[in-house]
A and B are shown apart, each in its own frame.
Chain A
Amino acid sequence: AQKVTQAQTEISVVEKEDVTLDCVYETRDTTYYLFWYKQPPSGELVFLIRRNSFDEQNEISGRYSWNFQKSTSSFNFTITASQVVDSAVYFCALHTSGTYKYIFGTGTRLKVLA
């Protein structure tokens, strides 16, 4: 079965704090893609990153970084020096070659307080 778990329903941090959003996935497929999307209050999901199962390199993009660990089936997302504009719901998603479907986690609502 394919599954994405985002155990953190809601996280509140104070501006400039670092925060990590957890994502754990399950799949038996050896070929798959993992994604992170951001959904601001306006409602439109915004693509943040894509990672395929053969590429375990961590990635950094500005204040955002992602840690992909196949050994623990995790694809965690860290925001350093958080800002109020980072407040949104963040979704982790899995797409496998077997089902050819996107499976989204339930999302983590991040609130960054000024």
Chain B
Amino acid sequence: KAGVTQTPRYLIKTRGQQVTLSCSPISGHRSVSWYQQTPGQGLQFLFEYFSETQRNKGNFPGRFSGRQFSNSRSEMNVSTLELGDSALYLCASSTGVGYTLYEQYFGPGTRLTVT
């Protein structure tokens, strides 16, 4: 089974621009979560989508948004980029069904650099 894929792997943007990152979950997984990883803040939860609906959201400003498509692929968007948005953005998928919480499988991440 193919793992979680994220595109692009590396991205360089300028302050004020916007960016869209893409994530394709493992086949059959309906839950997709996004995380921001920085040396200073560690791994921080951005949001989670399940069946095209945002199920949960972390403490990030409204500049960070996401969506999920009917095939479970997900995109996250960051508008009006700031230098502090430079980070590794990780996507994770899981079956996300029912009460039992299954483990998340992570993609390789997208390294975003804002200059």
Contacts and interface: CB of A to CB of B under 8 A. Distances in A.
Contacts of B104: 47, 102
A45 B90 contact: yes
A44 B106 contact: yes
Interface residues of A, number: 22
Contacts of B90: 45
B42, B58, B101, B104: which has the most chain A beta carbons within 10 Å? B101
Interface string A43-61: 1111100101000000000
Given A43-B109, A91-B43, A102-B33, A50 B56 contact: no
A101 B56 contact: yes
Q: Is the interface of A mostly helix, strand, loop or mixed?
A: strand
Going nearest first, the 4 A-B pairs with the smallest beta carbon separation are A45-B106, A104-B43, A47-B103, A106-B42
12 contacts: A44-B106, A44-B107, A44-B109, A45-B92, A46-B106, A95-B101, A99-B56, A101-B48, A101-B56, A102-B33, A104-B43, A107-B43
Given A37-B106, A47-B105, A101-B58, 17 more contacts: A43-B108, A44-B106, A44-B107, A44-B108, A45-B92, A45-B106, A46-B106, A47-B103, A47-B104, A47-B106, A100-B55, A100-B56, A101-B45, A102-B35, A102-B104, A104-B42, A107-B43
